[in-house]
Amino acid sequence: MQNVVNSLAVFAFLGMVIALFAISALLRTVRELRQAVLATPVPATPAVRRIARFQSPDERPTYVLVVTEQCLSCRERAAHLAVIPPGLLQGHLTLLGSTDAGARWVHGADHITVVADAELLGAVAVGATPSLVKYAADGTEEWRRVVGSDGDLERLLGVTESSNVPNVR
C-alpha cells in the first residue's frame, strides 16, 4: 500500500512540474503578444478633424445631425429639425446617415441637406446617435454633442425657446 501512495505522490509531483511548464509557456506567449501589440505603430488621430464636404462658401457654419436608421430618438430629432424655420438659424443644416431613411424624416424641409454616405458617417465617427456636430466654414470640426431631446437640439443650434418652434409630437 505504501508503494501505491509513493507512486501517486511521484505522479502528482510530475503533473505539477508539467503544469508549471505549461503555465510558463502560456505566460511567455502572452508576453510576446503584448510586446507585438505595443510595437505595432498606431496612426495618430488628428486633434482637429476637417471634412471638406462640410465647407461652406458663405462663411456660415454647418450643423450636422448624425443619425442611424434604427434609432427612434434620431427620427424624433430629425423631425424636429425639419420644423425649425430656416431664418432662425445662422448656418447650414445637414442630416447625415448611412442610408436615405433620413430623407423621409425631413421630407419637405428644403433648408436641410440630406447626406446618405456610410463612408462619411465613419469619418465623422460619433460615439452615440443622435449627435450634433458643428463645422466651421472651412470644414473644421468645432464641437460635437449628443442630442437627448428637442430642447437640447434647439439649445445647441442657438434657437431660443421664445421663437415658437412647433412641437412635432
**Cβ count near 95 (within 10 Å):** 26
Confidence of residue 17 (pLDDT cuts 50, 70, 90): very high
> How high is the pLDDT of residue 162?
46
Average pLDDT over residues 38-42: 64
Retrieve residue 20's grid coordinates. Answer: 508549471
Burial of residue 6 (number of CB atoms within 10 Å: 0-12, 13-18, 19+): exposed
Average pLDDT over residues 147-157: 88
pTM of the predicted structure, to 2 decimals: 0.67
The yes-or-no verdict on residue 41 having pLDDT over 60 is yes
Is residue 147 within 8 Å of residue 77, measured between CB atoms? yes
Average pLDDT over residues 83-96: 87
For residues 169 and 166, give the distance between their C-alpha atoms in angstroms, rounded to a whole number.
Answer: 9
- Percent of the chain beyond pLDDT 90? 31
Distances (CA, A) of 133 to 51, 61, 116: 11, 10, 16
What are the DSSP E strand ranges found in 39-140?
62-66, 92-97, 112-116, 131-135
> Which of 20-29, 66-75, 81-90 bottoms out in mean pLDDT, i.e. has the lowest?
81-90
CA terminus-to-terminus distance, the chain:
85
Percentage helix, strand, coil for the chain under 3-state DSSP, each rounded to 5: 45, 15, 35
Q: Which of 12-16, 45-49, 139-143 tops mean pLDDT?
A: 12-16
For residues 78 and 115, give the distance between their C-alpha atoms in angstroms, rounded to a whole number.
Answer: 13
